């Protein structure tokens, strides 16, 4: 069964260093908390809000050992006036037997407001 594992994080500034660091933190936490291995992953979508354009967050995942052949795509979020700003979101599509209730979706920094019902900390 393919299931989605979501996550999001906000950054303070639109800089390559900040975007890269935040993406790495988010991706690592999603992977560790859900025990994800690259060979289980069908694809990963990464989106950013309109105010972020200093880096390609997908480069972070592509540079990780063992993740070279996992399809990763960056895209823009829909620009809604009241939406959370400076936000990076990820969606891992994984092959798993886990139930939806066992998946740990990760929302860090200001992104915790997106899904307070899924915060487990």
- Residue 20 Rama label (left phi>0; alpha psi -120 to 50; beta): alpha
The residue segments making up the domain with residue 22 are 2-118
Cα 66 to chain centroid, rounded = 18
Average pLDDT over every residue of 53-72: 95
What pLDDT does residue 26 have? 98
Instruction: Give me the CATH number covering residue 51.
Output: 3.30.1330.40
Express each pLDDT in 6-50 by its tens digit: 999 999 999 999 999 999 999 999 999 999 999 999 999 999 999
Distance CA 110, CA 34 (A): 21
What pLDDT does residue 71 have? 96
Residues acting as catalytic residues: 6, 62, 74, 77, 89, 107, 115
Rg of the chain over Cα atoms, rounded to whole angstroms, equals 14
Express each pLDDT in 76-113 by its tens digit: 999 999 999 999 999 999 999 999 999 999 999 989 88
Predicted TM-score (pTM) of the model is 0.93
Distance CA 120, CA 1 (A): 24
What pLDDT does residue 113 have? 86
Split into its structural domains, the chain has a count of 1
């Amino acid at each position: 069964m393919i299931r989605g594992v979501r996550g999001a994080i906000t950054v303070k500034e639109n800089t390559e260093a900040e975007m890269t660091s935040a993406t790495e933190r988010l991706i690592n936490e999603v992977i560790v908390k859900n025990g994800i291995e690259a060979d289980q992953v069908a694809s990963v979508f990464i989106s950013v809000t309109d105010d972020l354009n200093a880096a390609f967050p997908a480069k972070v995942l592509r540079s990780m050992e063992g993740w070279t052949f996992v399809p990763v795509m960056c895209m823009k979020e829909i620009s809604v006036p009241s939406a959370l700003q400076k936000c990076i979101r990820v969606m891992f599509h994984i092959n798993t037997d886990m139930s939806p209730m066992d998946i740990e979706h990760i929302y860090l920094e200001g992104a915790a407001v997106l899904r307070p019902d899924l915060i487990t900390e």
